[in-house]
Amino acid sequence: MDFSYTADEEAFRARVRAWLLANVPAPGSLTTLDAMRAWQRKLHVAGFLAVAWPKEYGGAGLAEMQQAILNEELARVRAPQVVNAMAIWWVGPAIMRYGTDAQKKRFIPPILSAEEIWATGYSEPTSGSDMAAAKMRAVRDGDVYVVNGQKIWTTLAHISDWYFVLVRTSTDGPKWAGLSLLLVDMKSPGIEIRPIRQIDGGSDFNEVFMTDVRVPVTNLLGKEGQGWEVVSSALVNERTGIAGSVRFDQALDWLSTTVRGRGKASDPRVRQRLAELATKAAIVRYSGLRTLTDSLRGRMNPHLSAAMKLTTTQLTQEFSEAAMEVLGPWATLMEDAHAPWNGRWPRQWLYDRSMTIAGGTSEVQRNIVAQRILGLPRDRGSNTVGKG
């Protein structure tokens, strides 16, 4: 195995590092929507945004290896996520693939400039992980669809301008066959957004209620009944690569600092736990490199993203759980002035509870791995449907 980089790749890494050194915002400084938009625009102007997008759509047009290096360097300096990340990962690529010329011209440019923020609406209260069971109904009425129903766990709906939403346009045939994808203006009459107070104190997730919302037929993405294909194609763009290993290296360093700070560096049980986490972090690192190599060689198995998602989100939780054990009674302090490291670990631990749910539950990922990688028979008694 050759882990070295070419001279051109190292030169690109040096350019990225120099730019980030001069431009990355200070931690916690992006406190307003305008500041978040400005950071995304700065990345775009520098050619470090939507790196996988073709240049014809405003993307950076970088090679896959350059994209991986950029992601690694952004993770290394803990650069803030861009505010329109979901549009760049999912919405934009879907519009490029399934949209009309008019839709591409209208919707793609404001995504990159962050002029229009997008939310994605898949989950519903009664569907769980069974995305194909979506009930939000869209009924054709002349040149509009009339939409009624509820979505839940919609990230950033409260600041979004547009909604990439899965709706049911038919009840005929298999349940997945009656789904369609609409592009909905969030300012439309009949839309109500209710923030959900999360366990860590934040409220990035929302409930979205739609009552007789009228959506132009021209905002149908693809064809009626093609929604399942559109969404499944979009979700493939959420991949875990070598940047994930950098985050685990940082987590290991942070955890080691916590261990030393609590005077437990000589505790054999704690040392063993650190060794186990370091080993798992190394496995993720080399698995990410193998996945990248497979992709570069054109032998990428798209279902491996499920295995990587399953592994990395569980490991994320293991790091914060280990830290809470090291802190002991002090782990109960989050807002208190005496909280170690300003309560950073308790907040992280609470937030990490969502990691094995968001982006596809661990149960769904196990089904995908079992059926599509290992070739195991499907459990006919289960109604859980994977996102593939």
Which residues carry out catalysis?
Answer: 238
- Cβ contacts of residue 208 below 8 Å, gap of 6+? 119, 121, 150, 151, 152, 154, 157, 163, 191, 192, 193, 194
Q: Which residues pair with 148 in a beta bridge?
A: 137
CA distance 196 to 203: 5
CA distance 47 to 61: 9
Structure tokens at 123: 């989950």
Q: Are 91 and 120 in contact (CB under 8 A)?
A: yes
CA 313-77-154 angle, 5° bins = 45
Q: Which residues pair with 120 in a beta bridge?
A: 164
Q: What type of residue sits at position 372?
A: R
Smallest CA-to-CA distance from 212 within 193, 226, 192 is with: 192
Q: Are 385 and 130 in contact (CB under 8 A)?
A: yes
**Farthest-apart Cα atoms in the chain, separation:** 73
Smallest CA-to-CA distance from 132 within 168, 80, 85 is with: 168
Q: Are 348 and 268 in contact (CB under 8 A)?
A: no
CA distance 38 to 21: 17
- Cβ contacts of residue 257 below 8 Å, gap of 6+? none
